[in-house]
Amino acid sequence: MFTQIGTYLVDVVAGFFVYLLLARFYFQLLRVPFRNPIGEFVTAVSGWMVRPARRVIPGVAGLDLASLVLAWLVQALGLWAVSAIRGVIPDPGMLAALATLELVRYSLHILVFAVIVQAVLSWTNPDTPLAPVFDALTRPFLAPIRRFVPPLGGVDLSPLVLLVALQVLFIPLAHLRLMIDGASL
């Protein structure tokens, strides 16, 4: 029972910070403005970690590598803590690979969330101040699909096509995770 509680708490805390750090990375990568409630929250909550890390990990070509590396480190530490709680000593190479794979999975989760919110906002309140944030996050992924899938009856189906493609990507990621987990035991 205590193992399950400890594992859950580590997953929640590590996951929270990994999502924030990845959001910060993608906001900068996709040129999403930080002058909005979501950007200000992400900056306020993750700033204490990112500012010192930027002294050691410089950005390259406009990429916020400090946020990305921190997200990977937090994920790796979370996986290590969960293993330690379960009484398993993980292989460092497998831990690194699993942390990388989890960052890819979390990134896809962020994109799924952004696509759903952007689609709902476009139907309900396209003039909300948050609409440009989600549009900037999803536009690079929806634009190529929109070239091949035109609106039908005024309804844009590109978010649906992207969500199906993302769900398909989750399947090999799950199998890869099982392979890595199986090799580490």
Question: How many domains are contained in the chain?
Answer: 1
* H or E element at residue 18: helix 2-29
Write down the pLDDT at residue 92: 87
Bridge partners of 60, per DSSP, are: 63
* H or E element at residue 108: helix 92-124
Q: Are 136 and 30 in contact (CB under 8 A)?
A: yes
Per-residue pLDDT of the chain (185 residues; tens, 9 = 90+): 888 899 999 999 999 999 999 999 999 999 898 888 999 999 999 999 999 999 998 888 878 899 999 999 999 999 999 989 988 888 888 899 999 999 999 999 999 999 999 999 988 888 888 889 999 999 999 999 999 988 888 788 999 999 999 999 999 999 998 888 776 54
Q: Are 21 and 92 in contact (CB under 8 A)?
A: no
Q: pTM for this one?
A: 0.91
Write down the pLDDT at residue 147: 93
Helices (H), ranges, 36-91: 37-56, 65-86
Q: Are 162 and 142 in contact (CB under 8 A)?
A: yes
CA-based nearest residue to 139, from 115, 109, 105: 115
Range of the domain at 52: 2-184
Write down the pLDDT at residue 185: 44
Question: Under 8 Å CB-to-CB from 16, ≥6 apart: which residues?
Answer: none
Q: What angle do the packed helices 92-124 and 131-148 form, to 10 degrees?
A: 90
d(CA 42, CA 76) in angstroms, rounded, equals: 21
